[in-house]
Homo-oligomer: A and B are copies of this chain.
């Protein structure tokens, strides 16, 4: 690496003061066009480029936002949903000339330590937390030190004091369940996720409401909250089919699980979608690639990411702005995984 040219070198060569060079850098109106030209020419000649670290030190702002992921073993990294959020964040950051700083930890504790480091170490101006989980230490920590942050997902507590971006997961889950009910299904299985996560609770709630409002009783054996992120699809399929009165439709919280369980069902001779209708959430490429292509709730992952970054940046610009929350609308994308329920033992 070549040695670096500093503002002082430029100043010396251009016969001006360092402060003048700094002002040229920020295109201050207090500097004459003539000097600006002169200084810029010298900058070019010397190949000067600003060193951000110097600036950061005095301005106390890094123009960088930190992204906190959930532990990567929770297949967050290989999940296209994560990538798409990242994409949305990335776009918004670019539009506003911000950079991205990523956590790298594999355990809750490691991630927490990294957050402390990046917050206290002033490496970022604000952070986006990509999850909302009960018992999480990161969010309370950020609140306690009054560090600007935005959550992607509804906070576990203190809604009014926290800026967040989310879908209306209760409604979305109710909608997709209603959709199945409209198709004539009544024995609907629900395969949800780890109930530590707010999103899992909301979606279960939505499912419950839809069933209740339609006067359908919820059978416990049809409700599974899968605590691990990589359940055994064979086992899930087996359990469902071995029920005395198996469901005719399934709501999955996770596309990937939906897809693998569908395969397991098909392998057991279940005709999809004729004998089992299946829906899921997120609408990433997983839904498109499933067999049959999955009807899903599009949660607009890119939008989610984009909005959270946009709002964080706004918060950084105007720290006294109110802590609003943004709800991104969801859309049901119909594909080929659902069918009208066949009337069985049809009574005339």
Q: Tell me the A residues contacting B by CB distance below 8 Å.
A: 1-2, 4, 49-54, 56-57, 62, 64, 72, 77-80, 82-84, 86-87, 90-91, 93-94, 98-102, 104-106, 110, 116-118, 120-123, 145-148, 256, 259-260, 263, 284-286, 288-291
Contact = CB atoms under 8 A, between A and B. Distances in A.
A84 B286 CA distance: 16
A263 B293 CA distance: 10
B99 A101 contact: yes
Contact of A87 (B54, B78, B122, B147): B78
A83 B77 CA distance: 5
Contacts of A78: 80, 83-84, 87, 284-285
Closest 5 CB pairs of A and B: A49-B120, A291-B291, A77-B87, A94-B104, A52-B121
A283 to B, nearest CB: 11
Contacts of A93: 104
A60 to B, nearest CB: 8
Contact of A102 (B50, B100, B284): B100
A116 B256 contact: no
A291 to B, nearest CB: 3
Contacts of A80: 78-80, 83
B123 A52 contact: yes
A94 B110 contact: yes
A49 B104 CA distance: 20
Contacts of A50: 120-121
Given A1-B147, A2-B145, A106 B94 contact: yes
Contacts of A122: 4, 51-53
B94 A84 contact: no
Given A1-B145, A98-B104, A256-B285, 12 more contacts: A2-B146, A4-B120, A4-B122, A49-B117, A51-B120, A52-B122, A57-B57, A77-B83, A83-B83, A286-B289, A289-B289, A290-B291
Nearest to A69: B90
A256 B289 CA distance: 8
A83 B83 CA distance: 7
A105 B94 contact: yes
A91 B69 CA distance: 13
Residue from A57, A78, A256 with most neighbouring chain B CB atoms (10 Å) = A78
A284 B77 CA distance: 12
Contacts of A87: 72, 77-78
